[in-house]
Amino acid sequence: MTSAERSARPATCWRAEITPGESIILPDGCMDLLWTGEELLIAGPDTGPYVFGTDRRRDMTGLRFAPGYAPGLLGAPASDFRDSRVSLGDLWPSSDVRRWEDRLAAADDVGATLFALCDATPGQSPPPWIGTLPSMLARGVPVSACAEMASVSVRTLHRLSLQYFGYGPKILARILRMRAALALLGDAGEDLSGIAARAGYADHAHMCRDFAELTGAPPTVWTGGQTSGL
C-alpha cells in the first residue's frame, strides 16, 4: 500500500492491490471514500473487525479522512455508516456520482483526482475542536475534560461524537488506544505487559479483553500489522 497526505480536509490517499481472498480490516476511528475502479464506496467507522473479500484482483484507491472530517463532505452523520460499506450512489444524486466516476475512470492520477473532487465540494465544516478531541482521548484525557475543552456538556459531546465519529467518545478512545498498542506490537524485545502500560491499559488482561472485542483476536495475532480502510 502506498499513501500520500494532504492538509485540506485532512485525509491520506492510499493505493492498494487487492488479491483474491479475504482481508481483515481493523477499526481506526476513520472513514474512507474508495474508488474500486467501478464505483465509489464509503467505508464507515468500524467498531470491530470487518472482513473484506474479493474473487479477483483489484486496484483500489481511497481517501482516509482524519476522524470527524468525512461527514461534512458526505452530508450525512458518521453513525449512518457505522460498521458498513455503502455506495456513494445510495447517498448522493446519481448525476453527481456519475460525474465523479467518469472523472476517476479517465484519470491518470486517481488519487489526485479524488482529492480535487473532494476539495471542490464545499460541505459542512466540523466544530473547531474536532481535530483536538481524538488526540486528547488518545492520551487518556477524561471525557468530562474533553467536554469542557469543547465548551459543551458531556451529553452534547456524546451526541456530536455520534454525528462526526460514528460512536461516542469512550468507544473512540478505546479504538485509538487499541491502534496505539497495535503500533507497538512490532517492537522487538518488549513483552505484552510493557506494551499494555505504554498504550494506556490498566494491565495486560485489560488489553487482551479490548483486543478480543475490537479485533476479534488476541494482541499476538496482529504483530505483523494490518490494513485499514476498505
Q: What is the pLDDT of residues 50-66, one digit of tens each?
A: 998 888 888 899 999 99
| pLDDT for res 188 | 63
Query: 97 and 65, same structural domain?
Result: yes
**CATH number, domain at 82?**
2.60.120
Q: Is the Cβ–Cβ distance between 100 and 117 less than 8 Å?
A: yes
pLDDT, tens digit, 9 for 90 and up, residues 166-197: 999 999 999 999 999 999 997 766 889 999 99
Residues β-bridged to residue 85: 43
| pLDDT for res 36 | 94
* C-alpha grid cell, residue 174: 478505546
CA gap 62, 198 in Å, rounded:
31
Q: Whole-number mean pLDDT of the chain?
A: 92
- Considering only CA atoms, which of 136, 130, 131 is closest in space to residue 200? 136
pLDDT at 225 over 60: no
Query: 153 and 197, same structural domain?
Result: yes
Query: 87 and 46, same structural domain?
Result: yes
Residue 127 resides in a domain? no
Query: 62 and 140, same structural domain?
Result: no
Entry pTM: 0.90
Its domain, for residue 210, covers: 132-221
Sheet with 31-35, side-by-side order of all strands: 2-6, 11-18, 58-65, 31-35, 40-43, 85-87
Which residue, of 90, 119, 148, is where some domain finishes? Answer: 119
Query: 159 and 101, same structural domain?
Result: no
> In angstroms, how far is CA 23 from the centroid of its own chain?
16
**CATH number, domain at 204?**
1.10.10.60
pLDDT, tens digit, 9 for 90 and up, residues 1-41: 444 545 457 999 999 988 888 888 999 999 999 999 999 99
User: How many domains, in total, are found in the chain?
Assistant: 2
Which residue, of 57, 88, 119, is where some domain finishes? Answer: 119
Q: Is the Cβ–Cβ distance between 124 and 15 less than 8 Å?
A: no
Query: 92 and 26, same structural domain?
Result: yes
Query: 145 and 67, same structural domain?
Result: no
pLDDT, tens digit, 9 for 90 and up, residues 112-160: 999 999 999 988 899 999 999 999 999 999 999 999 999 999 999 999 9
Q: Which residue has the cell 500520500?
A: 4
